[in-house]
Every structure is written in structure tokens, then in C-alpha cells.
Structure 1
Amino acid sequence: MPSDPERCMISAICVLPDGHILILDTNNNKVKLLDQQYQVVSHCGVSDGPIEMCHITPGEVALTVDYRETHEVQFITVITDQIITGRTIQLQHACIGIAHHQGDLFITSKTALYKYSLSGNHISKLYEDESGNLTVWKCAVSPRGDKLYIINRNENMLLTLNRNAIVLAPFRDPELKRIGSVHVPHTGQVLVGYGGWGMRFIQVHSEGIRKLTTIITHMRPLWGIGLAEPVCCNSTISCISVGQYPGIQSEIADLYMNSGKYINMRFKLD
């Protein structure tokens, strides 16, 4: 957007049922609504330090904000191509990753995974690792809600937990470097994004024990290294939308799927 003081830096993506796309622009502290041609049709400002975003209902998302003394979850609703800001939940710990399943919010704090209600009530601390920084970074939940997935950024590892927070499987792979994102589409397989020369994603079996395939997106890296951060699946048109973070200019690529094969790629969003 010409009015933005900084370059767009996409840190999270949510695809709405009608094909519109919500992106979280961390550099400009904005949520932007894009149409199917990737044109910005609406936007709104959010608090400093937005990081991650997840669906709550088809038209509502929740995003995490973590900056200095601010640790909160903000709710955003899209109605008729307009973004409407809603309530916020104040937290007493760092607020990084977020996932939602049937009224439960799962929030990471760099070292722990917490469960909250949608009203903001703290339910439990599900998992904690105090061995180092960024050990509990991003999170995702399976479609049935029976498994939780955590990105351990220190060790470039994916952890699979059951709903009782028992670790079922740690997953490491020689390819996983600069791991940054995790997403679970309706099919249940797990997408793990990581950096390198361009951006790459590993598709992991839902049990979190074996790799199914590697997806390489030949997106332009920054200083030779791209960090795969946001990823979101659009089941309506069977594609994966990914954003480059950080980047000289932010892009969205649609990786189209046909019977599990990735058959096309489009770069968008200057």
C-alpha cells in the first residue's frame, strides 16, 4: 500500500471461505484484506508487535500481539469486505503462536504452551520447556483436536502432543533449518515451513513420525536466505498460500494441488 511507512512484511495468512485472504503485516502493524486478485480491499491497524493469526469462525480471526509489556490476543471480524476490530484478551506471559479448536485457544509463549477459553479464562499450562529460548514457538492443532503440534525453533524440531500434553513424537529432519511455521490442513497432514535457499515446506504425516514430501517454492530470498514463516491452506481451491518473511518485497505464492501434486505457482503482492 502506498500509504504504508514500511515495506509489507507478512507474518500470518488466513484464507476466508469466499476466497478473500487476510494477511498480517507486521512491519506496518496492520491486518489487510485481499480479494482473489490480491488487491487490498480493506485494512485496519492493530497494536504494535503482531505475530500470528488463526481462524475462530469462518469470518473471525484471532491474532497474537507481543511487544514490550503488551501480551494480548486481538479479535478481528470480516463483514462485507470490511474489517471490524473486536475485543482483546490481556495475558500475563509472552504471546507468540496461536491455534483454535472448538472454543479452546492454544497459545505459545516461547517456552510454554497454554490453553485458554475464548472468553480469556486461563485453563491450563499444557507443556513447558525451560531448556532454552524459542523452544515453544508456533503451534497448530489437528482437525479432530486430538493432536497438538509445536515448533521448537532452537532445535529445528516438530513435537507432536496429545490433548493431555504428552509428547507422542519428536520429528527431526536434516532438511529442517531455520524452522518457522506449522499448519495443519483439513486432510490432517502437517506442513512445516523452513528457510534456506528459497522457501521450503516439509509435509509430515499426522502422527508426526515421518516425512511425506518436500515442497520447494523458488521465491526470492533475502541476502540469499529466505525464512518460511506464514502458510495457510485454502481447501476451496486446493492450494497452499505462503508468504515471504522477511523479504525485499512481500509475496504470496499459491501452490496448487491436484491429487497431492503441486502443479503450479503464482507470485503475487508487491
Structure 2
Amino acid sequence: MFCPDHNHLCCSKCVELNHRLCQVTPLPQAARGKLTNFKNLSVRTENTLSQMKQCQTYQEDRMKSLKVSYKEHERLIVDGLRVNIVSYLRECETSTVNTTHEYMQYPIEMREKIKYLLADFEKSTIKEKKEELNLKQAPLKVVRNSCIRLHYELFHLHVAIPKLLGKPELSLIASTKCLEKKQQSNIFLKENFPNHVFTVNGKSLHNVKMPSDIYMCQIRAVCALPNGQVLVADYSNKIVKLLSQQYQMVSHWDFRDALIQDMCLITPTEVAVAVYDGVQFITVSQSQLAKGRKLKLQPYCTGIAHNQGDLYICSYTALYKFTLSGELVCRLYDDSSADLTVIRCAVSPTGDRLYITSYWNNKLLTLARDGTLLATYTDPALRGLYGLHVTPAGQVLVCGYGPHTILQVGWEGQSKLANLATQKDGVLGPESVCYSSTTSSIIVGQWGDNIRVFRVE
């Protein structure tokens, strides 16, 4: 039987339990009266199948990235131990070189003992790291396997439908099951794939000007906190402002002469603020802002991002990697061909991809973990490319200052997925963009006294 009210196939037990009040009809009758646009269904199914394949590739890339990261971590630990032991042994041998044979024997025995200890250490370290890696890869494998299963089921239904066009009842069964499986797949993609495209279903305008502000606001950075509150960095007035979940002013911190460039979340209650000559940490507690430590850095800061204990700093033409204590790890990327080639940066949730906005070249650059350039993306809607944000699920959002546009770009950094907002939606000179998973909103910081908030699904 078939229930047109719920668009479900059902048996007598289903009817008794779930469809007593529905206008259930026998399958032959339902098949005669129901026409399916098979061509449209086929196109939509092919699109979902393609996204499922991309999702599978994405999950496999994340697993590979984790494996590479852990192997590098293991190597560094073991190499460090080797260096310390060799140095210690040389010191022992040097201090006893002029002693008797009995004392000379001691460092030799120690060398043998330490060799065994080192071998045991390497085995135990590798074992521990493999266990830790397996724990982190386990949920990714579950998602990957679910992706493969859903793709397999949907693909076979997709292939079966054209073969059943002259058989109304079988066509109805196959098309209904295909629609159900496609719906399951789309829900799965929304939850597990960063190329899930946001859909805007509401917008609002909120004033962020304070009575004490001297100049018109210029919101250069936005940071969404896990509790739903929002921090906005007002470049013109040199103030970081804390807004409630309803975007009402709660508190603020005056940075006086510091030029605020960007912000990023470190912990649920700590934020790092790039202030041109370094990084100022501030904490949020009971809706109040408090000043923390400051890192004085040599390269001027124009952008900042954080991932797993690493700070990424943009400095006009280069991208640097620092520790949270301010120690320079390396320079990851450099482009001195012009000014303002490295303005903002963001990191994928697993840290395997870095994104850079090049204001001068109007380009979005995608880098590997080691700084290797993977992709370059340009778009007429991204002239004056400035603001950049990666959501916790991996969606990439960028701002075009000149065309007044907010775009969603694929996680590969090679294609546009959607125009999320334009000047028609009230966007004017956007300089920053941020997604709040708590409120399912995209918050746009721009030139002027207002921020724009777009509710999305």
C-alpha cells in the first residue's frame, strides 16, 4: 500500500500502527494515479551521489592527515630522546677518558643499557601513539563507512529506476525508496560534509555603536563564543565589544592606541586579538572582559588563527606559525610580489588545510599543513578580498569588500558553492565574517555602525 499523506510505502502493520487516519491506497491504484518526474529525480540523485563521493574523499583525507601528523610527532619525540642520550654518553666518556680500565667500563655498560631502554621507549611510544591515532580516526572511519553504504544503496536505486519505466508499481516503489534514501543522504551530508551549502532563511540588523564612540564603527573582526555571545572588534574606535546572544551591548575593552586587526578563539573563554605589534589575550568571564598576557611579535599582525595549540599570524606578505607562548616555529608561506598579499588566515578543523586571503591579488589561497600551495581561487564577487572564516564543520566563508558580497567556497578552495549575501541584503563593505553554531547564524562585520546577521540552515 501507499500513503500519499506521508509519501510512504507501507504494509498492513504500518497502516495499523502509523497511518490509521491517512488516506492509504492499494499500490496498483497509487501507481496509476502518481506520476514521477524521473528526469528531475535522476539529476537530483546524481548530484547527491557526487556529493557523497566527495564526502568520502574528505573523510579519507582527514584520516590521512591525522596519520601524517602523528607520525611526525612520534619522530620528533624519538629524535629528541636520541639527541639527549647521545649527548649524555659523550659527556660520560669525556669525563672518564683518563681513568682506569675499571671506570672506563662503566660508560660502555651504560651505553648498552640505554640502547635497550631506547628501544623499549620507541616501541611503547609508537604503541601509545597508534592507540591514540586509532581513537581519533575511529569516528572518521564510521562516517566514511556510512558514506560508502549510503552511496551504494542510493546508486543501485538510481540505476534500477530507468529499467522499471514500463512497470508502474515497481517504478513507484523504486522512486519512493530513492527519494527516502536521498533525503537520508542529504541529512548525512549536512552533518558530516563541509561542502554542505548554507541556506539563508532570515536576516536582521543590529547597532553596535556606543555613546562614547568618536568615529563611525568599522568592524574588522567578529568572534562567536560557544555560549552564544559575540565579540566584535571596532577598528575605528579601537575597542573590542561584547554582545549578548541577542546582539545587545554587554561589555567592552578599550585598546587605546592599539590598532585592532583580527581575533580568534583560543578556549571557550579566551580570545587572542591581533593588535599590529603583537597578540593581546583577553578573557570573558561572567559577561566581563579582562586583559591577559601579551605577546610582542616581530612581524606586524594583520590576521590571526588558532588550531591545536598553534598560532598562525599573517603579516602583509607572509604567513608565520608560532606557539601559544610566542615562539616562532617557521614561516609557512611568503609572497613578496606585492603589498597586502597575506591579510587574513583560517584553519580547517583538523589543521590539514590553511586558507589565506590576498587583498592585493583578489585571491583565496589554500595551503597544506606545511605551507605547500594547493589551490588558488578568484571570483569577480571577491574584489577586495578581506574577511575569512572556517566553521567548526569546515565550511569556508569569505568577504568581497568591493562588491559587498559574502560567499561560501568549497573546502578544496577551488569553487564557489553559493552567494550567501550581497548589497541587496544590506551588506556594505564587509571586512569580517563569522559563523555561530550556537545560533546557526552568519555574522557580518562591515563599514558602519551596524552588523548584519543571517540565520542559516
Q: Secondary structure at the match of 2:350?
A: coil
Structure 2 counterpart of 1:39, which letter?
Answer: Q
Gaps of 5+ in 1: 259-270
Q: Secondary structure at the match of 1:92?
A: strand
How do 1:68-217 residues align onto structure 2 when only pairs under 5 Å count?
Answer: 71-196=277-402, 199-217=404-422
| CA deviation after TM superposition for structure 1 residue 48, in Å | 1.9
Gaps of 5+ in 2: 1-209
Per-residue displacement from partner, 1:40-79 (whole Å, max 9, x unpaired)? 111111242111000001111101112xxxx110001000
Q: Distance in 2 between matches of 1:184 and 1:191?
A: 6
1:8 correspondence with 2:210: no
Per-residue displacement from partner, 1:233-266 (whole Å, max 9, x unpaired)? 001121101111x22xx212221112xxxxxxxx
Structure 2 counterpart of 1:37, which letter?
Answer: Q
How do 1:47-62 residues align onto structure 2 when only pairs under 5 Å count?
Answer: 47-62=257-272
1:43 correspondence with 2:43: no
Q: Distance in 1 between matches of 2:400 and 2:218?
A: 17
Structure 2 counterpart of 1:76, which letter?
Answer: I
Q: Distance in 1 between matches of 2:281 and 2:240?
A: 11
Q: Distance in 2 between matches of 1:175 and 1:5?
A: 32
| CA deviation after TM superposition for structure 1 residue 157, in Å | 0.4
| CA deviation after TM superposition for structure 1 residue 19, in Å | 1.1
Structure number with the higher helix fraction is 2
1:254 correspondence with 2:456: no
Task: Give the conservation status (yes or no) of the 8 Å contact 1:232–1:240.
Answer: yes
| CA deviation after TM superposition for structure 1 residue 91, in Å | 0.9
Task: Give the conservation status (yes or no) of the 8 Å contact 2:382–2:402.
Answer: no
User: What is the TM-score when the length of structure 1 is the normalising length?
Assistant: 0.87
| CA deviation after TM superposition for structure 1 residue 8, in Å | 2.3
Tell me which residue corresponds to 1:28.
237
Q: Distance in 2 between matches of 1:92 and 1:180?
A: 23
Q: Distance in 2 between matches of 1:219 and 1:85?
A: 36
Structure 2 counterpart of 1:214, which letter?
Answer: N
Q: Distance in 1 between matches of 2:401 and 2:281?
A: 29
Q: Distance in 2 between matches of 1:219 and 1:64?
A: 30
Q: Distance in 2 between matches of 1:28 and 1:176?
A: 27
Q: Distance in 1 between matches of 2:217 and 2:378?
A: 32
Tell me which residue corresponds to 2:228.
19
Task: Give the conservation status (yes or no) of the 8 Å contact 2:260–2:274.
Answer: yes
CA RMSD in angstroms comes to 1.4
Q: Distance in 2 between matches of 1:206 and 1:213?
A: 13
* Range with greater deviation from structure 2 (6-15 or 109-118): 6-15
User: How many pairs does the alignment contain?
Assistant: 246
| CA deviation after TM superposition for structure 1 residue 5, in Å | 2.1
Structure 2 counterpart of 1:209, which letter?
Answer: Q
Task: Give the conservation status (yes or no) of the 8 Å contact 2:322–2:330.
Answer: yes
Task: Give the conservation status (yes or no) of the 8 Å contact 1:184–1:191.
Answer: yes
Q: Distance in 1 between matches of 2:438 and 2:275?
A: 29
Task: Give the conservation status (yes or no) of the 8 Å contact 2:382–2:405.
Answer: no
| CA deviation after TM superposition for structure 1 residue 227, in Å | 2.2
Structure 2 counterpart of 1:207, which letter?
Answer: E
Q: Distance in 1 between matches of 2:211 and 2:378?
A: 42
Task: Give the conservation status (yes or no) of the 8 Å contact 1:178–1:227.
Answer: no
User: What is the TM-score when the length of structure 2 is the normalising length?
Assistant: 0.52
Q: Distance in 2 between matches of 1:176 and 1:2?
A: 34
Q: Distance in 2 between matches of 1:174 and 1:149?
A: 19
Structure 2 counterpart of 1:251, which letter?
Answer: N
Structure 2 counterpart of 1:205, which letter?
Answer: G
Identity value in percent: 48
Q: Secondary structure at the match of 2:382?
A: coil
Per-residue displacement from partner, 1:164-214 (whole Å, max 9, x unpaired)? 1000001112322111111100221211101245x3111111011111111
Per-residue displacement from partner, 1:112-160 (whole Å, max 9, x unpaired)? 0000000111110111011000001110000111000001111100000
| CA deviation after TM superposition for structure 1 residue 96, in Å | 0.6
Q: Distance in 2 between matches of 1:230 and 1:219?
A: 16
Task: Give the conservation status (yes or no) of the 8 Å contact 1:141–1:184.
Answer: yes
How do 1:214-253 residues align onto structure 2 when only pairs under 5 Å count?
Answer: 214-217=419-422, 218=424, 220=426, 226-244=428-446, 246-247=447-448, 250-253=449-452
Going from structure 1 to structure 2, the CA distance change for 1:9 and 1:174 (only over 3 Å counts) comes to closer
Q: Distance in 2 between matches of 1:174 and 1:6?
A: 31
